[in-house]
Structure 1
Amino acid sequence: MLEAALALIGEQGYAGASLRKLAAMVGMAQPSLYHYFTSKEDLVEQLIETFAGDMLSLGPMVVPTELEQVPEMVRDLTFSLYQHDTHPLFVRALFAISRSHPRWGKLLREIFVDRVEQSMRMLAHPFVQRGDIDEQDAVFLARMMISAIGLKLMEERVLFEARELGPDVHAYGDFVVATMREVIQTMVARRRARGDTPS
């Protein structure tokens, strides 16, 4: 039902979507929906918390032990979100929701900026403690990589006609990983040259 709601909002926008239309889409009587949500606003809040929670709960199969392994992990996690239809539907709905009311914009900023940044800082912590990288640099690098890969995946699965993630998209992901590794190597070398990190 929640995925149907994502599709409805993505297609018709926040203003055009309604519990009546959702009930018709899923083949239920509208009063039955009130067992799940009391209003359209309640539905939207459940959508955001449910699918953002799913996104933030993703974790790597293997936790990186070296800083240069992080780009590959970020790529794999980002790609895994877009392999199936649910996250692209969620992102499409977010574009329709986020500016419809300050309440949603504030909640989405808290999730996609504050909570994501907190996750980045937790991931970076062992490397920061080891002296490999400055914490803020780690956050900036992670954001840069997520933006580089995420926008490409949105082009393929959200913004235009939906397509499978083909070899060219995976080649782009590999390019971003290789480029970020070079950036990390350069940054670590500079820190070592300044004496900011153990050799």
Structure 2
Amino acid sequence: MAPVNAALRCANFEERRDRAMALFAEKGFGQVSMRELAAHVGLTAGSLYHHFPSKQDLLYDLIEELYEELQATLEQGRRARAQGKPVLPCLIGAHWQLQAERPMQFRLAERDFCCLSAEQQARLGALRERYEAGLLRLIAPQTRRAGETLAATGHVLATLLNQLPGMLRARALSEAEGLSLMENLVQGGIERTLG
């Protein structure tokens, strides 16, 4: 019976996390009080701290999880390369899918990053830089760019891959149209910038 209880606790925790994320995404992290957050996730204010040490820690966990998922998209690109398949369409498809599965986390990562402590921002910044560098190694392994130019290019490329799916869905483009447009935009930018 213990495994069932553990599974139930895990499911309850995930459900509460998802409710908190939805509230943050809807209202904005800074506009949500601890009391409102507790009521929204179905806990008393006092027991909220047992589940989530602080609002900032919860936000940090949600954004960190997104960067872990973004790292996983790079693994899909590596597998495509190992199988002799084109890497860029694979990465674009993986980002399209991730944006469909986690739109609220993308919104939080862009909008509410500034609400985190300096230490949390630095840790997430390092995760993002690692993701961006990995992305560049996959897409443009032969580039001659270096230093800040290369870092800026990685940042812009990652931003395109992370933001375009939501923008294109808002324009009611089909998945096929969206993926094709993303591939053309990203490929064109890569050829002109890193070629």
TM superposition score normalised by structure 2 = 0.66
Look up the SS of the partner of 2:22 in the other structure.
Answer: helix
Structure 1 residue 5 displacement after superposition: 1.7
Match of 1:109 in 2: 125
Deviations 1:14-49 (A, max 9, x none): 221233222211222222222222222222222222
Contact 2:29 2:115 in 1 (8 A): yes
Q: Structure 1: 5+ residue runs without aligned partners? A: 191-199
Change (3 A) 1:135 1:170: farther
Contact 1:71 1:145 in 2 (8 A): no
Alignment of 1:94-173 (within 5 A): 94-101=109-116, 103=118, 104-112=120-128, 114-120=129-135, 123=138, 128=141, 133-134=142-143, 136=145, 145-156=157-168, 166-167=173-174, 169-173=175-179
Q: What is the aligned-residue RMSD (CA, Å)?
A: 3.8
Contact 1:6 1:47 in 2 (8 A): yes
Alignment of 1:181-192 (within 5 A): none
Partners of 1:67 and 1:187 lie apart in 2 by 24
Structure 1 residue 156 displacement after superposition: 4.8
Q: Is structure 2 residue 68 aligned with structure 1 residue 53? A: yes
Partners of 1:67 and 1:136 lie apart in 2 by 25
Change (3 A) 1:144 1:174: farther
Candidates 81, 102, 107, aligned match of 1:64: 81
Q: Which amino acid aligns with 1:150?
A: N
Which deviates more, 61-70 or 14-23? Answer: 61-70
Larger helix fraction of residues: 2
Partners of 2:185 and 2:41 lie apart in 1 by 46
Match of 2:92 in 1: 75
Deviations 1:30-81 (A, max 9, x none): 2222222222222222222233223323331742249981211121111111
Match of 1:15 in 2: 30
TM superposition score normalised by structure 1 = 0.65
Number of aligned residue pairs: give it: 174
Partners of 1:181 and 1:96 lie apart in 2 by 27
Look up the SS of the partner of 1:20 in the other structure.
Answer: helix
Q: Which amino acid aligns with 1:99?
A: C
Change (3 A) 1:72 1:142: farther
Look up the SS of the partner of 1:134 in the other structure.
Answer: coil
Provide the identity percentage: 20
Return the index of the structure with the highest Cα Rg: 1
Deviations 1:94-121 (A, max 9, x none): 2342223552543443232x12123225
Q: Structure 2: 5+ residue runs without aligned partners? A: 1-15
Contact 2:168 2:178 in 1 (8 A): no
Match of 1:37 in 2: 52
